[in-house]
Amino acid sequence: MTSREGAVRGLKELGLSTYQAKTFIALQQLGVGTARDVAEVTDVPRSQVYGAAQELEDAGLLERQQSDPIRYRPINVDAAEQRLRQRIAERSADAFAYIEQTKADLDVPEGREDLWTLDGESAVSSRVLQLLERAETSVLFGVRDRSYVSSELEEALLSAVSRGVRVSVVSNDAVVRERFGDEDVTTRASTVPAEVQNRVGRMVVVDGETVLLSVIDLETGEETAIWSHETNFAVVFVQLIESFFPQL
């Protein structure tokens, strides 16, 4: 069962201050109450209740009765939850819209080399999906085993095929090869040495200019990847990878 402290934390996560949350909870308990009433059932000083109540009123979470002393009545819990969640959604949308609007397309200085690192399976999966979605001409995808082929990744590969992208899948897992064998995808087993295969998680080459390579920590099972786009690093990695699979 949620405690008062837990309820306060939850309301704070929805955008209320500590005093606002405590005042709102107190008024829900009271139904209708004055600043003195609120102060008596919570640890919010009466002098602070007035400000918190005004802010709650501005947010549409309570009503004020012009009496002496002033009495407050909160809106019902369901309406309050909907209003707070809507406010959070609107603020999030505004924030990300602003970020998108002001995001600058930086010109990469000539000679600069960008080599990025990703830690964790979730981060690697997200980047792999993004790279596949941007593919225009070709994709070479290598994978250790079926556990790294999610439904989202399968959909992204098949979507690339439907766009006319030439897709090749390399894996020593027969289930992976069979999964794409009838989908206009070139499949084959890996010729990479076994000691290397044991450490490689996923390999992606997109349009011959973007490369991602992940490795697996044999002790912890954690996945870490590096990726690069249109750099000397990318060129060298792509050439090394494609040298193992010249016919793909």
pLDDT digits (tens, 9 = 90+) for 169-222: 988 888 888 888 777 888 888 766 666 666 788 999 999 999 999 998 888 889
| 219-241: pLDDT as tens digits | 888 999 999 988 888 888 888 88
| 24-45: pLDDT as tens digits | 999 999 999 999 999 999 999 9
Ordered DSSP codes for 74-133: EPPHHHHHHHHHHHHHHHHHHHHHHHHHH---PPPPTT----EEEESHHHHHHHHHHHHH
pTM (predicted TM-score)? 0.56
In 3D, which of 169, 211, 215, 206 has the Cα closest to residue 190? 169
Residue 229 to residue 215: CA distance in whole angstroms: 19
Domains of the chain by range and CATH? 4-101 (1.10.10.10), 116-244 (3.30.870.10)
Q: What's the whole-number average pLDDT of the chain?
A: 85
Q: What is the pLDDT of residue 112?
A: 47
